[in-house]
Amino acid sequence: MFFSVIKKSLPAVFYFISYLYAQAFNGMTLYSPISNGATEFTTYLIDNQGTIVNSWIHTRGVASMPYLQRDSTLIYPYRVENPSMNIGGSGGGISKYSWEGDLVWNYEIANETYQHHHDIEPLPNGNILVIVYEKKSAQEAYAMGRLIIENPLNQMWAEAILEIEPLGSNDANIVWEWHIWDHMVQDVDPSLPNFGSISEHPELQDINYGSAGAGPPTSRPGGADGDWKHFNAIAYNENLDQIAISSRNHDEIYIIDHSTTTQEAAGHYGGNSDMGGDYLYRWGNPNAYGRGNNDADHILKDPHGVNWVSSGFPGEDNLLIFNNNHTNLSAVIEIITPINENGRYDIEDGIAFGPVGPYWIYTGDFHTEMQGGAFRLPNGNTLITDCDDGYIFEVTSDHNIVWDHSDIDEQTFIARAQKYSFSYLDLNHFLLGDINYNDHVDIIDLIMLSDMILGYGYLPNPPSDYNSDGNTDDDDLTLLIQFLAMN
């Protein structure tokens, strides 16, 4: 009788507590802080109360952000000791860890041809997309119509995307690749390849847009470099089989077709779009392809993040972009792309790609020069990371901050964080009743279980099925109440 009364009164008992967190998405936030002078590095998975659900130790600092997989493994891009092409976002290595923190796979891309930098994107099939610099000599660049090389290295670091298939414990196959060098246009010399009108080819990259590297003197980490476009984030849309990338130096985001073969990706035909590896879409700075109106439609400034809103989330299939220098502050911009029923993006002759402005924007008292990012959550909130300040916060669609987390060390940077639902992990090792995966069962788990049964906030997860009958229901609630009353 006692337990029956408690069970029936739970919605009223916990209503006020649940209301306090009602607007924040109750999940697990993953981030990898990095501090100046650190010799040991940690990735944390925390709940909304800041309790550590799990952590992983690394010997090298993170290059961008880690990725938690449904099987509970962690994919971690890191900075190698001696990058072959060195800037602040240089990485070079990718590691995979078990939930327990054991290193199960490791691979490095840091050689004379390629240097991984910034972001990666794990794919549903287990492969990983990797952003890499591709070194080109000044002679190679001039032969393609480049007019000036602005660095004493006499190099131009082009961009490429490699899809790697992990093998064994320290190997990988390159199973697909895309190279920006295959998609150039130049209007300076008709005797050289890819001669044409810049404004008539928004699907191609003007080889003369922007500087090719810097230094010395330069304030960039690593000294002189050949950094040209500075890709810094990559995302994949499984439904469209398309890839999105952001470019800091050119103030644009791009979408390309991933359904191509490698051969098709090197050309202008093939794939679902029948555009090969050309840009399907670009946005943020139409001056880069000769269709801009000076600063009037130059919206993006030093962007460091782009990703699609996941299917089923509010704003699904829209793009979220982290705009680092939106006037004197940073901003998160959401746009609705002009995608058509064929998976291509509508554009009129002589006009820039739409939209003309954001569908939604969040800006406030935050700013970061380095990295940063934003991700839409299932309840419509947006998780934002201010990298320079090591600050993660969650905002509603009407711009209210409903959750935040910051690192104690003022010298800590956090490139980007992601928040996962408690039903995301497909663990085969967990403690029954430990709804938030923090290795003990307490009143917070009871509140969460009550919410799950009431259909409020999030879906059941494996630990919520306390009696292991395949369902999360009142019987599990009764048993969990009994357990907590007796312990």
Answer yes or no: is pLDDT of 230 > 50.
yes
Q: What CATH code is assigned to 27-421? A: 2.120.10.30
Q: What value does the mean pLDDT take over residues 115-133? A: 97
- Has residue 10 got a pLDDT over 80? no
Residue with the two structure tokens 């077709």: 257
Query: CA-CA distance, 130 to 243, in Å (whole number)?
Result: 11
The torsion angles phi and psi of 363, rounded to 5 degrees, stand at: -145, 155
Q: What is the pLDDT of residue 446?
A: 87
Q: 239-245, long-range: CB within 8 Å, 24+ apart, which pairs?
A: 239/311, 239/317, 240/272, 240/339, 240/343, 241/272, 242/280, 242/343, 243/121, 243/129, 243/161, 243/178, 244/306, 244/307, 244/308, 244/319, 245/131, 245/161, 245/306
Each residue's pLDDT tens digit, 279-331: 999 999 999 999 998 788 899 999 999 999 999 999 999 999 999 999 889 99
Give the C-alpha separation, 133 to 136, whole Å. 9
Q: What type of residue is 31?
A: Y
- Euclidean distance between CA atoms 364 and 386, whole angstroms: 11
C-alpha span between 363 and 383 (Å, rounded): 13
Dihedral-angle region of residue 282 (phi above 0 means left; psi in -120 to 50 means alpha; beta otherwise) = beta
Question: Cα separation of 304 and 438, whole Å?
Answer: 32
Residue located via tokens 């993953």: 30
Cβ neighbours, 10 Å, residue 217: 7
Averaged pLDDT, 412-439 = 84
Q: What are phi and psi of 370, to 5 degrees?
A: -95, 140
- Contact in structure between 374 and 382 (CB atoms under 8 Å): yes
Note the pTM of the prediction, 2 decimals: 0.88
pLDDT for the residue numbered 423: 84
| Locus of tokens 């002679």 | 139
Strands ordered across the beta sheet of 418-421: 52-58, 41-46, 27-31, 418-421
| pLDDT, tens only, 434-465 | 888 877 888 888 888 888 888 776 678 888 88
- Mean pLDDT score across all residues of the chain: 90
Count CB atoms within 10 A of the CB of residue 468.
Answer: 9
Name 163's bridge partners.
129, 176
Please name which of 333, 345, 280 lies closest in space to residue 302, comparing C-alpha atoms: 333
In this predicted structure, which of 149-158, 197-206, 217-226, 421-430 has the lowest mean pLDDT? Answer: 217-226
- Which sequence spans correspond to the domains of the chain? 27-421
pLDDT-derived band at 482 (thresholds 50, 70, 90) equals: confident
